[in-house]
Amino acid sequence: MKKFINLKSIPASLPMINVDTDMIIPKQFLKTIKRSGLGKNLFYELRYDLQGNIKNDFVLNWDPYKSSKILIAGDNFGCGSSREHAPWSLLDFGIRCIISTSFADIFFNNCFKNGILPIVLKSDSIDKLTSDAEKKIEIEIDLKNQKILRSNNNDIKFDIDQFRKKCLIEGLDDIGLTLEKIKNIDIYEDKHHHNFPWLT
């Protein structure tokens, strides 16, 4: 998993509430188990018309927002079914941080496991960042110091579980965490093989 330390971008604002995982990545695109290639279908029904042409009325189809790495989202983002393809598609599109007043629990957890930082803020802070987005002003996510750095120096602090913070900074997913204990695993397997050779 790619390390997350600092992230700079002009944020994109998507103030819709209750954006569910089917809206993030529709069910017809769930046939793959690959994490790559899903970005082009992110928010498919919002980004494309029935003929597959790009719509001109959706924020992620506009410059500079179609290159945004930070999404300012509405309440209860990521609700609905627990498809891991949702964070995969966001990550493949280039989004590494989502900021909202609230997230669905399973989606929130899946973000961390895939290298995306979900930040929960109060509505007044969301309003400030939405204003930055509308003015096309770049912001910076400083994960180490748990701050969102703004051009007017009116920075915004955020909370994060310290274990999850460590995993993002060090680029550790579940497999990476397991591999950190590889020496102990090897010792156990050697001992087990020695004591119970008929089981191998």
Average pLDDT per 10 consecutive residues for the chain, totaling 200 residues: 94 98 94 87 96 95 97 97 93 98 97 96 98 98 98 96 95 66 65 70
- Supply 30's token pair: 């769930």
Sign of the C-alpha dihedral computed for residues 36, 42, 48 and 52 taken in this order: positive
First to last CA, the chain: 32
Query: What is residue 32's predicted lDDT score, i.e. its pLDDT?
Result: 82
22 exposure class (CB count in 10 Å sphere: 0-12, 13-18, 19+): middle
Contact 135, 109 (CB under 8 A): no
Query: What is residue 178's predicted lDDT score, i.e. its pLDDT?
Result: 58
Query: What is residue 171's predicted lDDT score, i.e. its pLDDT?
Result: 92
Contact 142, 148 (CB under 8 A): yes
Query: What is residue 182's predicted lDDT score, i.e. its pLDDT?
Result: 66
Query: What is residue 177's predicted lDDT score, i.e. its pLDDT?
Result: 58
* β partners of residue 48: 54
Superfamily of domain 6-172: Aconitase, domain 4 (3.20.19.10)
* β partners of residue 103: 77
Bridge-based pairing of strands 12-14 and 70-73 is parallel
The model's pTM: 0.88
Number of other residues whose CB lies within 10 A of the CB of residue 8:
12
Query: What is residue 194's predicted lDDT score, i.e. its pLDDT?
Result: 62
Query: What is residue 33's predicted lDDT score, i.e. its pLDDT?
Result: 80
CA 129 to chain centre: 17
